[in-house]
């Protein structure tokens, strides 16, 4: 309809219940890796040729701050988001010469329905750990993604943009 693909966002993810790594069943490991990593891989595999055909473009993969550091009781999720960052960096270096920019966004605690399922006490504890004293908003993440997809970020590829209110600082 529009003549081809110019930009794409790979945004899918599952989080496993908080539990020690040695208690995660194989089936849950496979499910998280299939959704969180293979989903991004499959997106890239189809998006890159389409962007090459257009002479370039931009892709943003949604990772997580859990992909930048260890996350106790979230080992498989953390590993999957580390893998998304690795895929992003590798794909960015492989495709920069084709005019394709590939970046990742690493959100911290964002005020989404998933966060709304936390008890009020747990939610307050999470907010207390945030240097900015609040959760991020979906709009803030969307604006960062928009920037990475736009020509305004034309010299940015292979980066992992952290949006976490200072949590990883």
Catalytic residues: 77
Paired sense of beta strands 7-10 and 160-163, if any: unpaired
By DSSP bridging, strand 7-10 and strand 57-62 are parallel
168 contacts 68 by C-beta, under 8 angstroms: yes
Both structure tokens of 56 = 């370039």
Angle (CA) 165 166 169, round 5°: 160
């Amino acid at each position: 309809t529009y003549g081809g693909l110019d930009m794409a966002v790979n945004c899918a993810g599952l989080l496993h219940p908080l539990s020690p790594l040695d208690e995660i069943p194989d089936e849950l490991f496979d499910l998280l890796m299939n959704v969180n990593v293979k989903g991004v891989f499959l997106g890239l595999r189809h998006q890159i040729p389409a962007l090459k055909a257009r002479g370039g473009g931009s892709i943003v993969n949604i990772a997580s701050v859990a992909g930048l550091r260890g996350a106790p009781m979230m080992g498989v999720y953390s590993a999957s988001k580390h893998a998304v960052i690795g895929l992003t960096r590798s794909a960015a270096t492989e495709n920069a010469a084709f005019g394709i920019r590939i970046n990742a966004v690493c959100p911290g605690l964002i005020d989404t329905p998933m966060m709304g399922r936390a008890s009020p006490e747990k939610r307050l504890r999470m907010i207390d750990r945030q240097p900015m004293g609040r959760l991020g908003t979906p709009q803030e993440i969307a604006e960062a993604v928009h920037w990475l997809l736009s020509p305004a970020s034309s010299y940015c590829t292979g980066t992992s943009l952290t949006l976490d209110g200072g949590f990883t600082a």
